[in-house]
Amino acid sequence: MDNILEVENIEKRYGDLVANRDVNLAVRQGEIHAVMGENGAGKSTLMAILFGMIRPSAGTVRLRGKPVQFASTLDAISARIGMVHQAFKLFPSLTVWENIVFGAEPVRGALLDRKAARERVAALARTHHLDVDPDAVVGKLPIGMQQRVEILKALYRDAEILILDEPTAVLAPAERDGLLKIMRELAASGKTLLFVTHKLNEVMAVSDRVTVMRRGEVTDRMVTADTTAAAIIRAMTGREVSHEVVKPATARGRPLLEIDRLMVGNAAKPALDAVSFAVHAGEIVGIAGVAGNGQAELVDAVTGRRVIDGGTLTIAGTRANDLSLRERRGLGMAIVPEDRHDVGSVAGMPAYVNMSMGKHRAPPLSRRGLIDRAAMRRHAETLIQRFGVAIQGPDTRVGTLSGGNLQKLIVAREFDHQAPVLLVEQPTRGVDVGAIEYIHRVLVDERSAGRAVLLISSELPELLALCDRILVLYEGRIVRELAASQTDEKEIGFYMAGGKGA
Amino acid sequence: MTMATGRPAQIWISLRRPAITGAVGIVVAVLVLALSGVDPLRALSALVYGSLAPANIADTLNWAVPLVGMTLVAAVPLRAGIINLGGDGQMVVGALAAALTAIYLPVPGPLALVLALLAGAMAGSMLALLAAWGETRFGVPLLISSLLLGYPAAGVASYLVSGPLGDLGSGLAQTAQLPLDARLPLLAGVNGGVVLIVLLCVLVIFIDRRTVFGLETQVRGENRLFASYVGINAPLQTLRLMGFAGAIAGSVGAILVLGAFYRFIDGALLSPGYTWSGLMAALVGRGEPIASVLAGFFFAALQTGGFAMQRETSVPRVFTTMMQAVIVLVLTLRFGGRSGRHD
């Protein structure tokens, strides 16, 4: 097999920052080639270079043996490279076929040939077993289907090399399995796939070879069949990372977060339908479910973003239905939000402000309404040290931090409240392996310290590793409670898909 | 391969915005003046002399008192991302309340003066609070409620002074003159209210830099979602900021009545457009008080110089309004900012 794509000594600098240094990559025709690395390792930069979005500072890209230079993505597309971005680039109000042919429409005279366009799209979908209705409106399709539209868009433009940038980050487990199957079929039909990810199990399941990056450089190249997950992690992080979470035995204490017949939404089709559960001191309770089955509404109801239409919410023994978020926090609740950029932090302000918020109204950070910036800086420094946040100092603006570091900063701020109730949403989404290990460890520490932790995660392995109990949400109801030690991904997935228990 | 250049590059980045703005401003000014057949050097020196020469600095300060005041009116809420378009109305009700208090309240002059200032601040604050309450209670966007409440407020004031409370003898829409002992003294030819405006600037800067309230305001301005997530009570914050801004606007109206016109004259407060110049200055400073106040003072000097230029040359005063607009446009351009990020 020949190399269809070769990258030689690619370098990309932004001022002092080196995003890619001396990167070499060889991709064979018809293989699934995984590119792995933690956040900030330079994977996305490399892909952006390959797809003509940015130009390298030095180095050569060879396509089918010939050196190429892309001035724009159009050049990359005409060189038969396609890319499926993490955030889809689709028109939600247009149909599937309109989205696919957009910009390369079949014409008859000066007019769009709708019939030909529809047929071509349908035929393309059939050949690649990408089952999707050409006339469906894209905005109404589930995420997994929208991703197929993106793939078809690239195939319609005769892409031979498909770049998939973190394609599984947004998918439910069943959709993810579907995508992995599609990837295998595409490779079998001769397409070459570049699979950018930091999820190990997917790389092990689907890829032929792996190139691992760290800090802008390639640290290792491996044949998947001959390597192990541990070896890949070592190459990604430069050290041994334990994937095992050790959970010491704790005594379950009194209930700290109680939710009783909670209703949210209109009576005809409630978003949450009589949801009842309690989280006790010293346990981690997980919420599993395909996105859109009520998790967001549950979080909104607990944090007060949404009005509770029925039932009661009790935080640390006090009814909290009608309290503001500030009052609820006052009862003893800390929150690690799903969206750490837009909700969990303020990018344009220094770390010490970000880390002081929530504690800034009381001594030592302020007295009689006057803030003490020196005390805030000291507070931030202490937390930065204790939680190992990689940041220059308390005055650094947090917008520059990588996903993992920003998450550590948020976790540091919230856990420092020592609140009895912790609401933790997607704590490791888009976070690198090292930070995942760390965040998991501190979550378990909080459990040992007697906190009641409610964990909402789309990562089933995470739920299985951390939780004591897992509740499965389906269409706004808790359809099943499972003991984490006695269940597996398959069983949880069955209930997530609406399966009925025996 | 170009190597990164470190510190000099950093300094250039922080200076390039003002530098480019200055350069563009001067080029546009020279071009416009030359095109209209005036000697640019003569016109611009008339402008600078007319605003900053020792003989003319009092004019500039008199213009700056209301303009810088109205800059604070816009900047205080803007720091939290709130746009207050109601400055005109808040200033007018403050001015009218101050005039009526000083004229009709049967107390000794100096006490009437103090009460008139307080009445002005209260009246402006109430109107601003009404607009803010419209948003926090009924969801009317503040942008709309603050702007629209200004028109009836100015209209009612206009009606009152042209009828029931007017100085009927004068035949103009204005109140009677203030008693002599209820007026703000002139300080070297400058409206005595300048002291109050300076104190207000210091107060606003202090609140911004040193208080919990100021910090929470900045956090809200940077990221609304984050502010509510960490438990900042947004409606209460809106009411406080708008109440404060309205009080400043009312004080500006009161200062103009008590220290410049010595009566409430319909339209005299609004025609110079202090509110809108102040809003522009606040936008230039993005609500940050020191930058906004400096911009407000600069605009006051520019406009005052414009009067002198109009007298000395054939260039109309509108020229300075144009310059102001050019400066705001250039300053609010985004210079080569890289949006989005990789990895």
What is the Rg, in whole angstroms, of the alpha carbon atoms belonging to chain B?
22
Do A414 and A453 touch, CB atoms closer than 8 A?
no
What is the C-alpha to C-alpha distance for residues A177 and A429, in angstroms, rounded to an integer? Answer: 18
Burial of B199: CB neighbours in 10 Å, binned 0-12, 13-18, 19+: exposed
> Which residues of A fall within a CB distance of 8 Å from B226?
342-346, 357
Residue whose entry in the numeric block shows the structure tokens 């409670």: A481
In this complex, the residue of B1, B218, B229 whose CB is nearest that of residue A335 is B229
Does B342 sit within 8 Å of A44, measured CB to CB?
A: yes
> Which residues of A fall within a CB distance of 8 Å from B219?
346, 349, 353, 357
Read off the pLDDT of residues B54-67 as tens digits, 9 standing for 90 and up. 989 999 999 999 99
What is the C-alpha to C-alpha distance for residues B26 and A325, in angstroms, rounded to an integer? Answer: 51
DSSP A259: E
> Which residues of B fall within a CB distance of 8 Å from A402?
343
Do B178 and B260 touch, CB atoms closer than 8 A?
no
pLDDT of residue B343: 36
In this complex, the residue of A44, A58, A329 whose CB is nearest that of residue B1 is A58
Q: Residue B12 in 3-state DSSP?
A: helix
Residue whose entry in the numeric block shows the structure tokens 């978020």: A325
Chain B residue with the nearest C-alpha to that of A18: B4
- Given a cut of 70, the residues of chain A with pLDDT beneath it are 1, 240-243, 501-502
Does B9 sit within 8 Å of A347, measured CB to CB?
A: no
Residue B337 banded pLDDT, cuts 50, 70, 90: very low
Which residue in B234, B235, B208 sits closest to B220, CA to CA? B234
Q: Is B10 on the interface with A (CB under 8 A)?
A: no
Q: Is B210 on the interface with A (CB under 8 A)?
A: yes
- Pairing between strand A469-474 and A477-483? antiparallel
pLDDT of residue B5: 42
Q: Give the residue-averaged pLDDT of B298-312.
A: 90
Q: Is A348 on the interface with B (CB under 8 A)?
A: yes
pLDDT of residue A56: 92
Q: What is the ipTM of this complex?
A: 0.85
- The answer, yes or no, to whether residue B133 has pLDDT greater than 50, is yes
Which run of H or of E encompasses A21? strand A17-28
Read off the pLDDT of residues A323-350 as tens digits, 9 standing for 90 and up. 999 999 999 999 999 989 889 999 999 9
Chain B residue with the nearest C-alpha to that of A11: B1
pLDDT of residue B1: 35
Residue B140 banded pLDDT, cuts 50, 70, 90: very high
Q: Is A147 on the interface with B (CB under 8 A)?
A: no
What is the C-alpha to C-alpha distance for residues B299 and B36, in angstroms, rounded to an integer? Answer: 23
Phi-psi region of B188 (alpha: psi -120 to 50; beta: other; left: phi over 0): left
CA distances from A449 to A196, A252, A278, A453 (A): 38, 11, 18, 11
Q: Which residue has the higher pLDDT, A150 or B163?
A: A150
Q: Is 0.90 topped by the overall pTM?
A: no
The distance of A393 to chain B (nearest Cα, Å) reads 19
**Residue of B136, B208, B223, B339 to mutate when probing chain A, most A C-beta within 10 A:** B223
pLDDT of residue A242: 63
- The answer, yes or no, to whether residue B13 has pLDDT greater than 80, is no
